[in-house]
Amino acid sequence: MPNRSRALVVLSGGQDSTTCLYWALAQFGAEAVEAVSFDYGQRHRIELECAAHIAAMAGVPHTVLPINTFAALGGNALTAGDIAVQPGVQANGLPNTFVPGRNLVFLSFAAALAYQRQCSELVTGVAQTDYSGYPDCRWQTIQALQAALRLGMEFELTIHTPLMFKSKADTVRMAQEFGALSALAWSHTCYNGQQPPCGVCPACELRANGFAEAGIPDPLIERLRAEGRL
């Protein structure tokens, strides 16, 4: 039987997943936590370097799994180099950064790895509040996927979504509470893959607004300024 105290965190290298990693450290202990990231041909590939750095800072094992099918499918601004990141939503009511099925696939692969590692707790930073409106981040989606994974693997996996109903400012305060601010100095959010961040893409705007509303300086911006890069 699996040890229910072991947890696998889906770590993109971004603000939300980094916050969830430190939440998991507090919940389960560093010795019982590991992280997984996905190389899916994303425009902002620098996030993989950030994920590795953050996992090392936290002292947890880190696995990177390759998934090249999303790049082959294309059709969105995160995996197709000829499509620019656009503000707002498209005709289908979703941002053009929406990668259809991304979180469903990520969590399925993460669940398979969790099964092998006997981690019954799977942690992800998806949220349906104050975010980009991705349908695969909704509570109902995650609950349905959890049920399917439990049935399909005969494994009592629990998907934890610590940020599900939090605003972006709330996630900043949560990062402060769990000691994640120093790690956030090395996180990456910019959809354009720029460092320093572009500051104008939807992801950059959400991050900046969250820190401003929380009244906490963004550690990434503070670090870049100290390094003379801003």
Phi-psi group of 52: left, alpha or beta (phi > 0 → left; psi -120 to 50 → alpha; rest → beta): alpha
The answer to whether 137 is a known ligand-binding residue is no
* H or E element that contains 6: strand 3-10
The answer to whether 20 is a known ligand-binding residue is yes
The answer to whether 125 is a known ligand-binding residue is no
- From the number of C-beta atoms within 10 Å of its C-beta (0-12, 13-18, 19+), residue 227 rates as exposed
The whole-angstrom separation of Cα 203 and Cα 55 is 22
Q: Where are the alpha helices (DSSP H) in the chain?
A: 15-28, 46-58, 69-73, 102-117, 139-153, 168-177, 181-184, 202-214, 219-226
Write down how long the chain is: 230
The answer to whether 119 is a known ligand-binding residue is no
The answer to whether 167 is a known ligand-binding residue is no
Q: Are 39 and 67 in contact (CB under 8 A)?
A: yes
The answer to whether 195 is a known ligand-binding residue is no
The answer to whether 69 is a known ligand-binding residue is no
Query: Angle 57-46-71 (CA atoms, 0-180°, nearest 5)?
Result: 130
Closest CA to 33 of 58, 52, 15, 53: 58
The answer to whether 170 is a known ligand-binding residue is no
Binding-site annotation, residues for ATP: 11-21
Give the residue ranges of the annotated binding site for Zn(2+): 190, 198, 201, 204
- Which residues fall in the annotated binding site? 11-21, 190, 198, 201, 204
